[in-house]
Amino acid sequence: MNTNAKYLEDTYCFQSNASITDMAQIGNSAEVYFDKTIFYPQGGGQPSDTGYLDVNGNRYEVSAVEYRDGNIVHHVIGLKVEDGLIGKSVVQHVDGEKRLKNAKAHTAGHLITHILEEMNPGLLPAKGYHFPSGSYVEMLDEKRQGNSEMLDEAMAKLQEAINAEMEIKAISSTFEEIEKLRPFLARYVPKDKPTRMIAIGNFTPVPCGGTHVSNTKELTGLVITRIKRKKDRLKVNYEFT
């Protein structure tokens, strides 16, 4: 049974109950599986959540979370398989400050990508690295039209989007809809089931399974620090000041 990814529903939910469905002992840590989880597993250029579990009145650190074959694996320090916890309900606690920092850095990558592709439709989203330190997005720039001179205009448009307090929401789209909106990205999404898309204001939505803040006003302080072209890619660095 695959883990129900509750973090997709609410970025701001930092505490929830869940039942342990399986465990494996790895030294002093346990790999723990739940029926559902509010912990984001590392992936898509975004670091995993960390936090702790409350189990029978004791507190255990969740040091890392990863996605594995449809399931979400939580590395929990000090928990023992022999304690017979499978089937038991525990309380998950996500480090909210870290979650929001990660969600902001990740959402910022989307917004900057939208602004650049609007400035030049020849630029296509290619890669994102949204760790809060050293964040960047890369755009595919086959016609080699992008350059560092875009920075001032991109920065002005970014500030406009933040001031406009645009709503950010997740929507569910069919393959056909995505093929129309995002022909370049459609090849990466499943044909037989709906895909989660993230929509910022009126920008064209994009498929994504990450955590996002709910309004562009939460991205106050975001600055683009550098735009640099390397061969057919445009690399755009950004940070929060």
What residues line the site for Zn ion (CB under 5 A)?
198, 208, 210
Interacting residues of 193 by C-beta distance below 8 A, sequence separation 6+: none
**Helices marked H in the chain:** 96-119, 151-163, 175-181
To the nearest whole angstrom, how small is the minimum distance from the Cβ of residue 208 to Zn ion? 3
- Nearer residue to Zn ion within complex by CB, 8 or 151: 8
- Nearer residue to Zn ion within complex by CB, 65 or 76: 65
59, 53 Cβ separation under 8 angstroms: yes
**For helices 96-119 and 151-163, angle between their N-to-C axes, nearest 10 degrees:** 120
Q: Which residue's beta carbon is nearest to the bound Zn ion?
A: 208
- Nearer residue to Zn ion within complex by CB, 29 or 173: 173
- Nearer residue to Zn ion within complex by CB, 37 or 211: 211
- Nearer residue to Zn ion within complex by CB, 115 or 208: 208
The rounded distance, in Å, linking the Cα atoms of 210 and 205 is 14
Work out the number of other CB atoms within 10 angstroms of the CB of residue 196. Answer: 16
To the nearest whole angstrom, how small is the minimum distance from the Cβ of residue 198 to Zn ion? 5
To the nearest whole angstrom, how small is the minimum distance from the Cβ of residue 199 to Zn ion? 11
To the nearest whole angstrom, how small is the minimum distance from the Cβ of residue 112 to Zn ion? 12
Q: Rounded to 5 degrees, what angle do the CA atoms 151, 154, 158 make?
A: 135
To the nearest whole angstrom, how small is the minimum distance from the Cβ of residue 170 to Zn ion? 9
**Residue (of 13, 198, 215, 5) closest to 99 by Cα position:** 13
